[in-house]
Structure 1
């Protein structure tokens, strides 16, 4: 059991170190030696857990995907689908700002050259947003004339844009920037009955 726990910690250290090196140097330029050195382990230990740099990148993306799924689950409450969406966007941007694995995961999954075994994190996010907006449409929370698919295009485009811009300037992934976006978006997106209950700054920060 002790060996298993130590192995799990080493693997986690390698994934985090790889994320930090990939984010700083890019996938192509990053070396396994740099990653093992940053993790504080030998090259042999690295190769015990990961057979290649591609395998490490895949592990970073898969961990980021797990975080993304957890954001979708944990940000939901009893305030309806639209508030769920607002809260999830805040959680996503906060994670991108604070977690190198999330930042590197998104950069890797959308980078060039595209890896055949890469995880499509933006595609997963798009699918989740579309589903939540369909839920909002079913609840009657969308404004008259607004469809879930039309709304998802705007929300995905904006949040992916914030993610991209935030790689160079963290103000784009800040809660203030996202709240400004929702202040503009919600009056057009939400029904008159749903709008007064929505918090553009999210509800999680108030808990």
Structure 2
């Protein structure tokens, strides 16, 4: 049992270290030697768990997807009087907040352009876009969107902004501050929500 627990800890340490290095240096230039050193394990231990760098990248992406699922599931537990569109707003704040704090989620967004070549079926941006689109489709069915709005188009915009903030935030963390996203929603919500709809912004006072 102790051996299994040690293996789980080693695997988690390698995923976290790889996420930090991938996020900082990029996938192609990231060194497995640097990753193993940062994780505090030998190169042999790294290759035991992940025989190739691509296998390690896929594991990081899978871990990032799990973190994204936790975020949206946590948001779904709280029913909001403003309906599904408030759910998307709240989840977007949670995602951006975690992008600032969690290297694994950051790396998951950044790795998408590389893991598609590895046969990935769980790209984080794709998961995020599908979820946002499904919630907005529900909002439209409940009369929570303007009639001319296409949910998929809005979902694409939300994901593009999220991914863009992740990219910019790696260079300047101020991009991942709450006021940046509040400005985005103040501009977008009047264009997608029916006239007279008030959707509180979670961090509007930040």
Q: What is the TM-score with the length of structure 1 in the denominator?
A: 0.88
- Once the two structures are superposed, residues 76-121 of structure 1 have per-residue CA deviations (whole angstroms, 9 ceiling, x without a partner) of 221121111001101111111111111112111124x953223422
SS in 2 for 1:75: helix
Select the residue among 121, 136, 144 that pairs with 1:141.
Answer: 144
| Partner in structure 2 of residue 187 of structure 1 | 190
| Partner in structure 2 of residue 85 of structure 1 | 88
The count of corresponding residues between Structure 1 and Structure 2 is 201
Change (3 A) 1:157 1:109: closer
| Partner in structure 1 of residue 119 of structure 2 | 117
Q: Partners in 2 of 1:157 and 1:10 — Cα distance?
A: 34
SS in 2 for 1:45: helix
Partners of 1:83 and 1:202 within 8 A in 2? no
Q: What residue ranges of structure 1 are gaps of 5+ in the alignment?
A: none
- Once the two structures are superposed, residues 38-81 of structure 1 have per-residue CA deviations (whole angstroms, 9 ceiling, x without a partner) of 11111111122111111111110100011112222111221121
| Partner in structure 2 of residue 31 of structure 1 | 31
Bigger CA drift: 53-62 or 21-30? 21-30
Select the residue among 132, 151, 155 that pairs with 1:152.
Answer: 155
Bigger CA drift: 154-163 or 33-42? 154-163
| Partner in structure 2 of residue 199 of structure 1 | 200
SS in 2 for 1:41: coil
Q: What residue ranges of structure 2 are gaps of 5+ in the alignment?
A: none
Q: Partners in 2 of 1:54 and 1:149 — Cα distance?
A: 31
SS in 1 for 2:117: coil
The Cα of 1:202 is off from its aligned counterpart by: 5.5
Q: CA RMSD in A?
A: 2.1
| Partner in structure 1 of residue 56 of structure 2 | 56
Structure 1 runs of 4+ with >3 Å offset: none
